[in-house]
Amino acid sequence: MKNLLIILGSLLIFTCCQQQPRTVQGTDTATTAGQQPVIQQDTATAATKRPAISSEKLVSAGKGIGKISLGSNADKLEQLLGKPDFSDAAMGKAWLTWYSKRRDEHNNRNELNIYTTYADSTMRTKTVKQIRVTSPFYITADSLQVYNDLARIREIYPDLVSEGTYKEQKGGRMIHLYDAIAQGIAFEAAEANGQQICIGMIVHEPGKAVTDIYITLHPDLKK
């Protein structure tokens, strides 16, 4: 009888232990009564953002390039860039040119060209009308820059139109001029190995063809 009581007591204790709720420790999920576990999001797997481009190298269609903006006072250009290396001026209009001190990775001497003219009929203030660069240092928010091929540029500006061609003074290459008129940005491209490679970018007034002013830089441009 004594042994029977001991066995019954042991069974009762075992049953009570089985009915106790279990606790879970060290989980990576948060739960709410009646809901599925909520997985904690790992911030490391979030989509990476495109790195910011410094203002000194940013090309903004219809707005400006680097420190120079369309419509800005031309009298302040020398403060920002120093004295130009070359100037072609007449009747209050001018193309100002700055050459790079070093050649780029393709052994090309890069240049910055800025076209200026009087802001209005008072002929008191000259403003920036067009900006042209041939250096890959400058880049758009969509990562377009000199030495991109034309196919890549058309991915961003599918409405590019051909504005004409001209021959380089040195080398005699045929250069094609393409313009995204509505956005205010144009591209020069040279033929190389079956491709057309960008050799220059021009920012101009949106909605107005680049050749309305640019043709004075290349008078031999054939539309």
Which pLDDT score, from 0 to 100, does residue 50 have? 66
In the chain, what percentage of residues exceed pLDDT 90? 62
Whether residue 3 has pLDDT greater than 80: no
Average pLDDT over residues 210-221: 92
Q: Per the structure block, which two tokens stand in for 70?
A: 């369309």
Domains and CATH numbers, the chain: 58-214 (2.60.460)
Residues 6+ apart with CB under 8 A from 66: 55, 56, 57, 58, 59, 138
* Integer Cα distance of 150 and 160 in angstroms: 10
**What mean pLDDT do residues 95-100 have?**
96
pLDDT digits (tens, 9 = 90+) for 131-140: 999 999 999 9
* Higher per-residue pLDDT: 130 or 44: 130
Predicted TM-score (pTM) of the model is 0.76
Mean pLDDT, residues 94-114: 92
Q: pLDDT band for 169, please (50, 70, 90 cuts).
A: confident
Which residues are CB-neighbours of 144 under 8 A, at least 6 positions away? 59, 152, 153, 156, 198, 201
CA nearest to 209, candidates 187, 184, 175: 184
Of the two residues 77 and 12, the one the predictor is more confident about is 77
The rounded radius of gyration (Å) of the Cα atoms in the chain is 33
pLDDT for residue 90:
87
HEC string for the chain: CHHHHHHHHHHHHHHHHHCCCCCCCCCCEECCCCCCCEECCCHHHCCCCCCCCCCCCEEECCCEECCEECCCEHHHHHHHHCCCCEEEEECCEEEEEEEEEEECCCCCEEEEEEEEEECCCCCCCEEEEEEEECCCCCEECCCCCCCCEHHHHHHHCCCCEEEEEEECCCCCCEEEEEEECCCCEEEEEEEECCEEEEEEEEECCCCCCCHHHHCCCCCCCEC
